[in-house]
Amino acid sequence: MEIFDVVVRIGLVGLTTILFVIVLLAYSRMRSRKMLLITIGFGIMSFHAFLTVPEIFSESYHTIFDENVHLLAHMIGLIFILLGTLKD
């Protein structure tokens, strides 16, 4: 991988983690089922981002996390965020 790709991917992992922390702090101040679902969605996204960090440094991890697993993790996270957004 090029150095630019590594910097961008690590930057995106960091930004995802910061966004999760912000949502987690918002949930701690305003405890509701709506914020819980949104927090779970961002938690799944952040956990998935941490799991993909080894892919940057070793090619052997590409076989464990193929494209369908990445899409499934994103879809599950987005469904939780959508359910939290639509919750009244």
Enumerate the domain spans of the chain: 3-86
- When pLDDT is cut at 50, 70 and 90, the band that residue 36 belongs to is very high
| pLDDT of 9 over the 80 cut | yes
| pLDDT at residue 51, rounded to an integer | 84
Burial of 46 (0-12, 13-18, 19+ CB in 10 A): buried
- What span, in angstroms and rounded, lies between the C-alpha atoms of 54 and 39? 24
| pLDDT of 1 over the 80 cut | no
| CA-wise closest residue to 19 among 35, 43, 1 | 43
The encoded tokens of residue 36 equal 């819980």
Contact predicate 87/33, CB 8 Å: yes
Contact predicate 87/34, CB 8 Å: yes
Query: 65-87: per-residue pLDDT in tens?
Result: 778 888 899 999 999 999 999 98
| pLDDT at residue 80, rounded to an integer | 95
- What span, in angstroms and rounded, lies between the C-alpha atoms of 61 and 36? 31
| pLDDT at residue 63, rounded to an integer | 66
Please compute Rg for the chain using Cα positions.
15
